[in-house]
């Protein structure tokens, strides 16, 4: 019983860590990639090495990757305590809701009613998965 | 949206749940890692299943970065969330994890949310003023 509670607590702590680090990472990566532009077109025009060098020199990209690394190790920690069918969808879906706010505030994306509805459905789905 | 872009989104959807599943399988072999021996997490990557999971997640990362270069974050994330249905199927039939009816309902709701967002445009934000596709110096936009 106690072991089960610890397992659950560690699982949800991991989910929290994943959501925070992953949201920060997503926003930074998105911003960095938008600054670089459509990498498919850029690769055709200037070649792959040019694209890679542009990406690797982006400050936003590098800090974003660091955030993702934290998120990844939080995921490994979580998976050692709980099922992938809980950790995977719960962390990623909550990250999606957090990202809707972050993208509106930091990336100035127009999060319309359709996207908010999507966020609510996902949030409800997460609650059901956690029951 | 063209075929290339749909393929990139499909790559994001498939690589993520497959990678997660390999990681899960590997981490079950590694065993529980407590707060006291956190450094063991670094050794976990020597497990072959965890290794394959990491390679798949690198595939996810490459396709994800590509998608983010031409679509909103609030489009890419949900649009690629259909992979969770795949994840549930993998967890149920390959990892033999029990998935309750409630969790199935949750996964169904997540998928419905995906349906909402993918019926809209992929870009809604302001177009970056500087879009440095020609390699010219980019300026900040906020």
Q: Quick check: pTM over 0.90?
A: no
Taking contacts as CB-CB distances below 8 angstroms, the residues of chain A near B20 are 75, 84, 88
Nearest residue in chain B measured CA to CA from A73: B41
Q: Which residue has tokens 């994840």?
A: B87
- CB contact (8 A) between residue B116 and residue A114: yes
Tens digit of each residue's pLDDT (9 = 90 or more) over B87-117: 777 778 887 888 888 888 888 887 888 788 7
pLDDT at position B131: 46
Residues in chain A: 131
- CB–CB contact B77 A72 (8 Å): no
Average pLDDT score over chain B: 78
Of B23, B105, B126, the CB nearest to A128: B105
Report the residue of B25, B112, B113 to disrupt the A interface, i.e. the one with the largest count of A CBs within 10 Å. Answer: B113
Closest in B17, B30, B125 to A110, CB measured:
B125
Per-residue pLDDT for A102 more than 60?
Answer: yes
What does the alpha-carbon distance between residue A115 and residue A121 come to, in Å, rounded to a whole number?
A: 10
Res. B140: pLDDT tops 60: no
Closest approach of chain B CAs to the CA of A91, in angstroms? 12
Dump pLDDT digits (tens) for B58-86. 999 899 999 999 998 888 877 777 776 77
**pLDDT, tens digit (0-9, with 9 covering 90-100), for A49-68:** 999 999 999 999 999 999 99
pLDDT for res B83: 74
Residue B55 confidence (pLDDT):
93
> What are the percentages of helix, strand and coil residues in chain A, rounded to 5?
85, 0, 15
Which pLDDT band, with edges at 50, 70 and 90, does B13 fall under? confident
Lowest mean pLDDT of A26-30, A59-63, A111-115, B47-51, name the range.
A111-115
Query: H or E element: which one contains A53?
Result: helix A48-56
3-state helix, strand, coil in chain B (%, to 5): 70, 0, 30
Return the half-sphere exposure (C-beta side, CA atoms, 13 A cut-off) of residue A15.
25
Distance CA A9, CA B76 (A): 30
Q: Which two tokens stand for residue B52?
A: 């394959």
């Amino acid at each position: 019983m106690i072991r089960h509670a610890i397992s659950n607590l560690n699982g949800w702590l991991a989910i929290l860590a994943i959501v925070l680090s992953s949201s920060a990472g997503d926003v930074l990566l998105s911003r960095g990639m938008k600054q670089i532009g459509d990498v498919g077109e850029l690769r055709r025009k200037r070649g792959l090495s040019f694209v890679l060098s542009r990406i690797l020199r982006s400050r936003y990209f590098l800090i974003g990757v660091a955030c993702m690394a934290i998120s990844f190790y939080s995921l490994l920690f979580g998976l050692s305590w709980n099922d992938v069918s809980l950790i995977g969808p719960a962390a990623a879906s909550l990250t999606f809701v957090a990202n809707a706010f972050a993208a509106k505030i930091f990336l100035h994306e127009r999060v319309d009613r359709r996207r908010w509805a999507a966020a609510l459905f996902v949030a409800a789905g997460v609650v059901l998965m956690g029951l | 949206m063209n075929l290339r872009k749909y393929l990139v989104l499909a790559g994001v959807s498939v690589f993520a749940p497959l990678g997660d599943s390999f990681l899960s399988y590997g981490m079950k072999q590694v065993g529980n890692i407590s707060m006291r021996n956190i450094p063991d997490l670094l050794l976990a990557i020597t497990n072959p299943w965890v290794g394959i999971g990491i390679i798949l997640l690198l595939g996810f990362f490459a396709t994800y970065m590509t998608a983010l270069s031409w679509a909103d974050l609030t489009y890419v994330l949900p649009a690629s969330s259909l992979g969770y249905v795949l994840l549930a199927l993998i967890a149920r039939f390959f990892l033999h994890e029990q998935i309750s009816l409630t969790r199935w309902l949750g996964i169904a709701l997540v998928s419905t949310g995906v349906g909402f967002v993918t019926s809209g445009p992929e870009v809604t934000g302001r177009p970056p003023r500087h879009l440095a596709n020609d390699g010219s110096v980019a300026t900040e936009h906020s």
